[in-house]
Structure formats: C-alpha cells, structure tokens
Structure 1
Amino acid sequence: MMTVTDLDCLRGQRRVLSGVSFALDAGDCLILRGPNGAGKTTLLRTLAGLSPAPRGALSTAPEDLVYTGHLDAVKPQLTVAENLTFWQGIYQNAPQDTLNSFDLDELADRPAATLSAGQKRRLGLARLHVSGRKIWLLDEPTTALDADHVARFTDTLQAHCNGGGIAIISTHLDIALPQARTLNVADFAARQDRTADEEADPFLQGAY
C-alpha cells in the first residue's frame, strides 16, 4: 500500500501543489490529469524523491519506487542488451523476458545511439521491468510509441498491477486499464499570494 498525506510540491522555490493526498493498494493504477504546467511532473518527481517536499508524508520507502521521466536514461555507447545488463547490475535483478516484453529482441546487439525515438523509449521503459520495484512512477511513458507498442506497454503495465504492483502515470492518453482511477492535480493547486507591490506592478500582472 502507498499513502500520500498533505503533500506540498515545489517547482524551484515556488509551491505549485498543496495538500495532495491519496492512498493506493497493491494492484492499483492512478492516472494524473491536468493541463500543462499544473504540476503532474512535479508531483511525480516529488514522490520519487528528486524534488524536496516542504510539507506532507509519503508512506513508501524509496527502494520500492522507480521513476521514468521525459529522458530515457539510455547510455548511447552501449548496445540494447548492454544497457539492460547495466541496469540489472544496478537493481540486482535479472528478469529473463525483458527483451521480449518490450519488443527489443531483434535490437539486442544494436548500439543505443542508432535507435529511433520510439525504440529508445521502449529501451528506457524496459528499465522499469528490470528494476523489480513495486511502484512505477511514469511521466508520459507512451511518448514516441506507435499504437502497437502503446498496446504492448499497456499489457506490461497490466501484468505489473496484476502481480501486486502499483503505477502512477502522467499521460494525456487513455490507458486501457480497468482498475485505473484519476487524480486531477489542478484540484491541489497552491494559492499564489502576491505582495502589494506585485499587485501594483503592471509588468507582473499575469506572471502567475
């Protein structure tokens, strides 16, 4: 189980979310919704421990979490197989079906630098599988994937949840998981208080 209580999130020095609270059980999937800039990425990075939280509590230990963002965390000088071997060493976990699960079998010996954007994305997502961690934090995971590979990744995501895992996903696409529920991060937008000088300055009008 994962419980988040009254969590505040910062972007730089600015508080963008306040009082975020939710609870997830094994097998749950939470889809983060909200307009661009609402704080979806900031929330994921805070949950992952990459950004400080000035207030609130997270029940989960850091070693239970794995995060993937807009960058694929791929080492271009290594082959696809060597990248997976590197991550296996980091996470001390060596699943046998990762190449097949992410349709990377025929690319195993290809240098990562020569992969297309979609192939790099699949390799980056494979790190989730290699990690063996229970809670996946995903920021726009289907970017650059074609429809077939979106469906394939959705199957992998479903298998993760069916096995007792948890997924928290920021995405503008519909993820076809029957247990998925949504959280609109705009509901937790932090109030931005202005000083009297800021209110009087026309150049600062609309800056927030």
Structure 2
Amino acid sequence: MTLLAVQDLAVARGGLRTVEGVSFALDAGQALILRGPNGIGKTTLLRAVAGLQPPVAGRIEMADDAVAYAAHADGLKGALTVTENLAFWAQIFGGGDVAGAIAAMDLTGLAHRPAAALSAGQKRRLGLARLMVARRPLWVLDEPTVSLDAASVARFAAMVRGHLAQGGAALIATHIDLGLDAGVLDLTPYRARADSTARPAGFNEAFA
C-alpha cells in the first residue's frame, strides 16, 4: 500500500526554488532518508509534504490526515508535565498509548516533571514521543536526533522500526546513521537550475 507519492516536485524558499523534479514513493513499512548539503531544501521539501507550505510544481498524493510532522520545535507546553503533554496530544489526535510512548523514549522517571524543567535532550525525547500518540501512518521528520545522546538515538531508531513494522512509513532528513533498513535520496542532483529560478527584481547574486 502506497502511503505517499511525490511526483516532479519543486519547492521554494524565500521566493527562490531550491529543488525541482523530485519524485519518490513510500509504501507501508518503508523509510526514506533525505540527504544533501545544508540549504539545499530538505526542510522546505518536508514542510511541503507535511502541508505547511504549497509546492511550486508537482504533486503530493497521500490520504487526508496521514502525516505526523516533527521539526526543530518540539511543540511542548512548558507548564504541563511529560504525561500531561502526551495526554493532550493523544486527545487531539484521537487517542494513543501515552504509557507506551513514555516508556519508548525512557521518560518514565520524568513523567511528572513539567516540560519547562526538562533539559534540551529530554524535551527532544518528549517531542518525539508525541509521534507515538498521534496515530498517523506517515512520519515526516526533520533532523529528529538533534540534542539526543547515543542511547536516545538508539531508542528513537527502535521507535521508528516499530512504526514501520506496524505498517507505517517515515520520511527523515538526517545526517546520522540510524541503522534503519531505509532508502536514501540525495537531493543534490535536484538542485534548482539558475535559469529556472524566479528571482525578484534587484536580486543580488552575492547574497544567494
């Protein structure tokens, strides 16, 4: 079953195309790792897939409400505890295993601590635990291992493998080897051509 199909996609940041002509598909149980140099457009592409910005060209096909998106912001409410944050998101997304998510990201000892009192790595673990309570088949993840130590990266990778085993899919921008059985898509060959990039009047190449 195909959960995501991207065809001839072009995306732009600040009015300038970043990548174009990108096509791929993700079936149930599959993961795809996005690679490429900083600034090439990995985040922009992920935001387009997540429905946060429109593509310049091409098509993105998937079921409604299929995506759980995790980016650099963890989306936490500082006054709520770890358990309360996850319970809130579980309610928003129609239910989910809060206790299982807490255990998966080793948050049991922090379950009653306010999110504002967590370290950067602990906040990241809590933000990623939200994926498990969202009950969405397609995880779209932008550099998810930022602030995580090696043990937490391993826990996160196990969480992704569990999601795939249950018929989910994952699209991940990362430079870290997560040890997943995943395809790799390097966006470098899809960098937008200079002659196909619409530039505003007065654009100065020195500041590109």
Q: If the length of structure 2 is used for normalisation, what is the TM-score?
A: 0.92
Instruction: Quote the residue 1:66 is aligned against.
Output: 68
Pick aligned residue for 2:161 from 145, 158, 168: 158
In the alignment, is the contact (CA less than 8 A) between 1:49 and 1:62 conserved in 2?
A: no
Q: Distance in 2 between matches of 1:113 and 1:64?
A: 29
Amino acid at match of 1:103: D
Q: How does 1:39-188 map to 2 (within 5 A)?
A: 39-95=41-97, 96-178=99-181, 180-188=182-190
Amino acid at match of 1:112: A
Q: Distance in 2 between matches of 1:23 and 1:133?
A: 17
Q: Percent identity?
A: 50
Q: Distance in 1 between matches of 2:25 and 2:46?
A: 15
Instruction: Quote the residue 2:207 is aligned against.
Output: 207
Which consecutive unaligned segments of at least 5 residues does structure 1 have? none
Superposition deviation, residue 205 in structure 1? 4.1
In the alignment, is the contact (CA less than 8 A) between 1:26 and 1:165 conserved in 2?
A: yes
Distance 1:110 1:186, change over 3 A: same
Q: Distance in 2 between matches of 1:87 and 1:27?
A: 24
Amino acid at match of 1:93: G
Superposition deviation, residue 62 in structure 1? 3.9
Q: Distance in 2 between matches of 1:62 and 1:39?
A: 24
Superposition deviation, residue 117 in structure 1? 0.4
Q: Distance in 1 between matches of 2:63 and 2:15?
A: 25
In the alignment, is the contact (CA less than 8 A) between 2:89 and 2:134 conserved in 1?
A: yes
Which consecutive unaligned segments of at least 5 residues does structure 2 have? none
CA RMSD of aligned residues (A): 1.7
Aligned length: 202
For residues 131-180 of structure 1, the C-alpha deviation after alignment (integer angstroms, 9 at most, x for no partner) is 010000000111111101111111111111111110010111111012x1
Q: If the length of structure 1 is used for normalisation, what is the TM-score?
A: 0.92
Superposition deviation, residue 61 in structure 1? 2.4
> Who wins on radius of gyration, i.e. which is larger?
1
Q: Distance in 2 between matches of 1:160 and 1:94?
A: 13
Q: Distance in 1 between matches of 2:79 and 2:64?
A: 29
DSSP-derived class of the 1:7 partner: strand
Instruction: Quote the residue 1:17 is aligned against.
Output: 19
In the alignment, is the contact (CA less than 8 A) between 2:96 and 2:132 conserved in 1?
A: no
Superposition deviation, residue 51 in structure 1? 1.2
